[in-house]
Every structure is written in structure tokens, then in C-alpha cells.
Amino acid sequence: MAALAGGVAIVTGAGSGMGRGISLRFAQEGARVVVVGRTRETIEETVGQIRAAGGEGTACVADVAVEDDVRRMVGVVLTEYGRLDFAANVAGVAHEPKLLHELSLQEFEDDHAVNSRGVFLCMKHQILAMLDNGGGAIVNVTSGSALAGFAYFSAYCAAKHAATGLTRSAALEYADKGIRVNSVAPGAITTPMLLRNSPSVLEPTRRSIPMKRFGSVDEIAAATVWLCSDQASYITGQVLPVEGGYTASAITIVSAQELAMGT
């Protein structure tokens, strides 16, 4: 039997990249999946792939930075399936690489609107639903930037650190209520965001990784879904780096362009 058979999952940022891969993995493991994104065309494509593989999925257009959208998103889950067991909060944005003093307030606020406020709003309403059915598991997909400071990405880095704090605090608050909250921190993953860079950027980035390769969307999906499964039933409040050993070094030096690894 599939690991998550009969469960219901919600995945944000599911129109492409890691969000799409995680949605497909949830469905592969037997969960019914509500696929969330801001663009109907892309999330419908994800749902189509789920159904083509024999899974069950529903599309929901929503912006995680808007509370009414998030409330409605969770309402769709409950209306369609009657419960919520698993959530992967993947939606994220990143500003262009800049020195801190060159960042506008709007760029700072845009990064935080999705990367930290969005995580807060999603968890708030997901937890309310999970409390009603006696528990669940949430994974916030952040970034290696949630674990260290990175030059030229100060607002992005700050927002991802905030998501880590939200993860750990929520894990403590709901540990005795059957809700586990963890985080996956991806490194350089072969998503469209990474691959838009030139070979002159990609090659030094690859060499800086101890395993000398980029990670795959499937590897992020496997880690995320595993944290939601009963195999991780005694794990909460943790951040799991999935980045080929990149953050194992005490000192990591890379250029701004080489950091185009995002979520």
C-alpha cells in the first residue's frame, strides 16, 4: 500500500518546479492533492499530470500572501475531501541580487509577503483544519538561505530565516496535538529558476557543491513527502538540508550570481 494512501495533501507553488514535483510525489504515494498556485494554466497542467498517472488532484488558484485566498484555499480542501492531513508550503519568490543599500522597501516587502507572511498564513489555516481531524504534518520548503547569510540576497535570506523560525515555533506549539511541522532547505536544484542562468554561472556553482552535481526536483519531493509520512513520526521542528553537502562547510564563499539556486 502507498505510504500516504487515503490522506489529503495541499501543495502551494505547485505550478512548476519543486511544487509540481512534490504534488506528483504525494499523489504517487496515494494522497489526494489540492494543487495551489497563482496561475490557473500551470496548476491545471500539474493536476493533469497527477490524473494521467492515476492519481486524484484538484486545482485551486490562490495567492499565499493574501489571507482571504489562503482561507478559501483550505476551504476548497475541506469541501472537496473533508479533511487535511499533509501540507507542503513551497511558494516562494526572490529579488534580484543587490547590495542591501540598493534594495527598495518594495523589494524587501515583496520577498517577505510570500516567503514569510505566506508561510505564516498557510500554517495558520492549515493547522486550524488539522486540529479538527486530530493531527497532520506540515513541511515548509525554504532554501539553503534559511541556514546561513548570503551576500546580495539579504531580503530573501531574512524571509527564509523567518520561515525557519515559524517552523520551529509552530512545531513546539502543536507537538502534543498531533501536528508535526518541519522544513526542507533545498540547495541548487534543477528548476527553471536555476537553469535560466548561463553556463558560466552554472559550472562554478556546480563545482562549489561537495557532491559536484545539482539536486533534482525528485530528491526534494522525496524528502518532503517522507517528512509527512509515518516513517518520520518522531521528527518535528527540524530543518532538513537537501543540498549535496553545501552547508556542511564552516565557510562557504560564492558570488551573488552563483547563488541562483532558489525555490
Q: How confident is the model at residue 1 (pLDDT cuts 50, 70, 90)?
A: low
18 backbone dihedrals φ, ψ, rounded to 5°: -65, -35
CA distance 14 to 90: 7
234 is catalytic: no
Residue 69, burial from CB neighbour count under 10 angstroms (0-12, 13-18, 19+): middle
CA distance 80 to 71: 14
The count of other CB atoms within 10 Å of the CB of residue 187 is: 25
pLDDT for residue 145 is more than 90: no
* Domains of the chain with CATH codes: 8-259 (3.40.50.720)
Q: How confident is the model at residue 3 (pLDDT cuts 50, 70, 90)?
A: confident
pLDDT for residue 161 is more than 50: yes
Strands (E), 99-252: 136-141, 179-186, 239-242
| Residue percentage of the chain with pLDDT more than 70 | 94
The count of other CB atoms within 10 Å of the CB of residue 45 is: 18
Q: Select from 209, 235, 256, 2 the least CA-distant residue to 24.
A: 2
What's the half-sphere exposure (Cβ side, CA atoms, 13 Å) at 157?
16
119: enclosing H helix or E strand: helix 118-132
Q: How confident is the model at residue 209 (pLDDT cuts 50, 70, 90)?
A: confident
- What's the predicted TM-score (pTM) here? 0.91
pLDDT tens digit sequence for 24-81: 999 999 999 999 999 999 999 999 999 999 999 999 999 999 999 999 999 999 999 9
| Residue percentage of the chain with pLDDT more than 90 | 73
CA distance 90 to 129: 19
Range of 66-75, 183-192, 207-216 with top mean pLDDT? 66-75
Catalytic residue among 156, 174, 234, 246: 156
CB distance 187 to 242 below 8 Å: yes
